[in-house]
Amino acid sequence: MYPYLKNKNILLSVSSGIAIYKAIDLLSRLRKIGANPKVIMTKNAQSWISDQVFSAVGNCEVYYEIFDVKGGWIPHTELSRWADLLIIAPATANIIAKISHGIADDLVSSTALAYSKKAKLIVPTMNVRMYENPTNLSNLKMLNEQGWHIIEPEEGELADGEVGKGRYPDNIKILVHSEYLLTKKDFLNKKVLITAGPTVEKIDAVRFISNRSSGKMGYELAKEFSYRGAEVTLISGPTNLATPSIVKKIYRVENTQEMREKVLKEFQKNDIIIMSSAVSDFRIKNYSNQKLKKDSIINLELEKNPDILKELGEKKNEDQILIGFAAETENLKENAKKKLKEKNLDFIILNDVSRNDIGFDVEDNEISIISRKEELRIDKNNKRIIAGHICDYIFDRFF
C-alpha cells in the first residue's frame, strides 16, 4: 500500500540497458497502486523494448520524440509541468552525464532540464567499472547537488558476468523513496525512537518463549515518520519483516534486557518515543545452554523482566513525548487508562488483540488513542494508514 502515490502524476523516463525490463514491473506497480503514469523513452531504450509494451502495461501514453509538437502540445515542457514526480529508471551513464551537464538533445534530457519541482529521482544502473569511473561518480555528485534523489545501485552479479555495484534495485525501494519525495515534511528536524516486534527469552539452546507480535505496526510507524522528515531510530526484536530502506538507523535485539539497554542508550537523544514492541514480561531464571530433555522442562522458573516503559516514564523530561501501546483482551479501556497513568505516558494506543482480524500478525489494526484529556477511535484499516493517523494526531496535539 502506497497512499502517497495514489492519484499522483508520475513520469517514468526510461533509458537503455538490460535492466530496462525491470522498469516494466515498476510501471505495472505504479498503475496497480492508483498512480497516473506516463512514460518517456530514449531512442536506444526502444531498441530493447517496444513502446507498445510500456503503453499496454501502464495503460498510459508513451513519448519518445522531442519534436512531436501537436496542437500547441510541446512534449518536454508540458510533461515537465504535468508530473508530480519524475523518475529516471534505469539511468545509464550517458543520460546521467547529459542531465548533470544540462545537455538537452532528446526528450528525456529535455524534460529533465525543464522539470523544476523537487520530487525527482534517478536510478543509476550499469557495469561496475562504468559506475565507479570517477567521471560518472562526479556526475552523480552534481545531480545530488542539483536536487536529484539518487538511489544507489545494488552490489552483486551483473548481466555481463562481472560482480560489483551496478544492479538495478528492488522496485519496492524505488516506490518507498518515491513516497518520501511526495510526502509533507512536518516532522523535519524531529528525532523519533520506535521499538517494534516481540522479544524472545530462551529456555534452552533451541527453545524460547515469546509472543505473536509481527512488528508490522512499529515498522509502519518508523516508515511514516521517516517519510515525513523525522530522523528515526528503530529498535526491533526478531521479525520476518524486510528492513525498511527509508529508515537510516536500525538496531536489532533479541531479548528484553537487550531492548532495555539499547532503548536507554538512545532515549535522551529523541523528541518522540513510541514503545510499540511487545516485550516479554518474564524471562527464564534457570536457562540452560544445552538442549533440555522433555521431562526437564515441565517446571520452568520465571523471573520478571525490567519494565522498560515505566522506567522511561520516570526519566522523561517535559519536552519529550512518550507513547505506549496496550494490547488487551478484556477490560480494554480500564487497563489502558491504568497503564497510561502508571507509566506516566502522554498517551496510549489501545488495540484489542483478542480479535483475529486486527492487531497481532495481520495487516490491519483498529485502535483507540487515549490521553488524560480525550479518547479518539480510529476505525479498522491497513496498518500503514493507521500509522499516518497516529502521526497526524501527534503533530496536531504537540506541534
Quote the pLDDT of residue 375.
96
Angle, to 10 degrees, between the axis of helix 383-398 and the axis of helix 216-227? 50
Q: C-alpha distances in angstroms, 112 versus 13, 95, 146?
A: 9, 10, 11
Q: Does position 267 have pLDDT exceeding 90, yes or no?
A: yes
Helix/strand/coil for 356: coil
Quote the pLDDT of residue 20.
95
Per-residue confidence at 67, pLDDT binned at 50, 70, 90? Answer: confident
Whole-model pTM: value is 0.92
How many Å apart are CA 347 and CA 140, to the nearest integer?
45
pLDDT tens per residue, range 168-185: 999 999 999 999 999 999
Q: What is the CA radius of gyration of the chain?
A: 25
User: Which of the two residues, 293 and 395, has the higher pLDDT score?
Assistant: 395
Average pLDDT across the chain, whole number: 95
Helix/strand/coil for 121: strand
- Which cell numbers in the block locate residue 5? 502515490
How many Å apart are CA 302 and CA 278, to the nearest integer?
18
How many Å apart are CA 80 and CA 248, to the nearest integer?
31
C-beta of residue 349 within 8 angstroms of C-beta of residue 309: no
pLDDT tens per residue, range 296-341: 767 788 999 999 999 999 999 999 999 999 999 999 999 999 999 9
Domain boundaries of the chain, sorted by first residue: 9-182, 191-398
How many Å apart are CA 304 and CA 306, to the nearest integer?
7
Angle, to 10 degrees, between the axis of helix 171-182 and the axis of helix 20-32? 50
How many Å apart are CA 393 and CA 371, to the nearest integer?
11
φ/ψ of 397, rounded to 5, equals -90, -25
Q: Does position 187 have pLDDT exceeding 90, yes or no?
A: yes
Fold exhibited by the domain 191-398: Rossmann fold (3.40.50)
Of 180, 185, 246, which is closest to residue 399 (Cα–Cα)? 185
Quote the pLDDT of residue 7.
97
Active site residue 289: no
How many Å apart are CA 198 and CA 182, to the nearest integer?
32
pLDDT tens per residue, range 109-154: 999 999 999 999 999 999 999 999 999 999 999 999 999 999 999 9
Q: Which of 211, 270, 351, 381 is catalytic?
A: 211
Q: Do domains 9-182 and 191-398 have the same CATH topology?
A: yes
How many Å apart are CA 258 and CA 95, to the nearest integer?
48
φ/ψ of 250, rounded to 5, equals -130, 130
Of 245, 44, 20, 249, which is closest to residue 151 (Cα–Cα)? 245
Question: Domain spanning 9-182: which CATH class is it, in words?
Answer: alpha beta
What's the N-to-C CA distance of the chain in angstroms? Answer: 27
